Amino acid sequence: MTADRFALVVLDGLGDLPHPETGGRSPVVAARTPYLDRVAAGGAVGQVVLIGPGIAPESDAGVLALLGYDPATDSPGRGVLEAIGVGIPLEPGDVALRMNFATAGGDGEVVDSRVGRTLSTEEATDLARTISQADLLADEGIHAEVRPTVGHRGVLWLHPTRGEALSANVSNSDPFYERTGGMGHAAAPTDTHPRTVEPLDGSAAAARTARALNDFLARVPAVLAGHRVTARRALRGAKLPNALLVRHAGRLPERPPQPFASRYGRAGAAVTEMPVERGIARLLGLEDIFVGPMGPDRDSALRERARVARTAMDRHPFVYVHLKGPDEPGHDGLAVRKLEVIEAIDRSFFGPFLDGLDTSRARFAVTADHSTPAILKRHSDDPVPLVIAGAGVAPHGGAAGFGAPPGPDGLGMVVGRDVLRRLFADDPSAPLP
């Protein structure tokens, strides 16, 4: 049997560790997943180390690795990927950074880097508009614009107005993340005060950019403190968006990474929910099928994503599907909630996705872009589940079910960059050349 249709389904933050609230098992193992268990029983099962030991990747780094790219050298930076994802018209010399609205205490320490996940996109849009209109770096010849994306998330776009290019070679202010080249990865800081942005080389452009960012971040709290959104949230006792955190500065790459179609000899599409994954799709030349964040009816949204994914598979030889669901309850330490999300994905995405799928032609992989263990409330470097099933795949190692440690005849430990090589191989269980 020869596959001519392939799919990679990435469950954001799926990986986890044993938790007392889920019976001493991980939420993934404890969840009831009859459809994924059936896939695992008939497929080749292993585990994936996304980047390497000691590296807890962010989603963009994990996704790029799964798509066969090196996030340290092929990524222009999280800020640029998000900017591309929301259509910011970056120019050479501009810098973009991923940004969070955050809640800080009286001494500036970060109390909540996500404003309790209660800041609505509408509230963030109102705040962002006011910050951008304040033009806080006009005296330094830089237009600083905040573009909100989803909830507390956004992009900080710096555009020089006097012809002096800026540098992306600067450090993060966000204490919870580090960067290695274009790759972002999670940190576990003992001091959660925002960091001073530092130049990472000796250039005048890096020094100017770092200085401008520090000035901007120091001026923003006064704008936020007097804003109507902050006042209304204070009246109802909600966490206050009184600070910004920025990370992973980037610029448009002089030499973009090799397009996906050129690398693999097959065109593809991406079904995505968040701007960063949309930016990756656009950067790599995958057809952009953006479905946006899920609304309150998760099961209905998952069924729609299954329909979109199957339609895309009819039109494209490769489809990448990204589902955000498991990550947020992992960050929030809600093991039972994460279990429930995984069960919903099994029931309402994989149920209809598998219904009528012609596995004499189609082959697909299910994995994750990183682990977000609920017991840690952050990304970790723990391996994530992998199953490859469909046309030409014999059962290997999946008898214990999806998410359980694979049997001795499974795929073993696979590095992120080799997942697609195995998916596209004649025999995904055979040793790679």
Domains parsed from the chain with CATH numbers = 5-75+257-424 (3.40.720.10), 81-250 (no CATH)
Sequence letter at residue 357: L
Residues 52-68: tens digit of each pLDDT: 989 999 999 999 999 99
Residues 331-346: tens digit of each pLDDT: 999 999 999 999 999 9
Burial (CB count within 10 angstroms: exposed 0-12, middle 13-18, buried 19+), residue 26 = buried
Name, in order, each residue with C-beta under 8 angstroms of 205's C-beta and a sequence gap of 6 or more: 164, 165, 166, 167
As a whole number of angstroms, the distance between CA 111 and CA 257 comes to: 38
Report the SS3 class of residue 309. Answer: helix
Residues 331-384: tens digit of each pLDDT: 999 999 999 999 999 999 999 999 999 999 999 999 999 999 999 999 999 999
Q: Which residue has the tokens 């990183």?
A: 370
Residues 116-170: tens digit of each pLDDT: 999 999 999 999 999 999 999 999 999 999 999 999 999 999 999 998 889 999 9
Q: Provide the whole-model pTM.
A: 0.94
The model's confidence at residue 179, banded by pLDDT at 50, 70 and 90, is confident
Quick check: 242 and 224 in contact, CB under 8 A?
A: yes
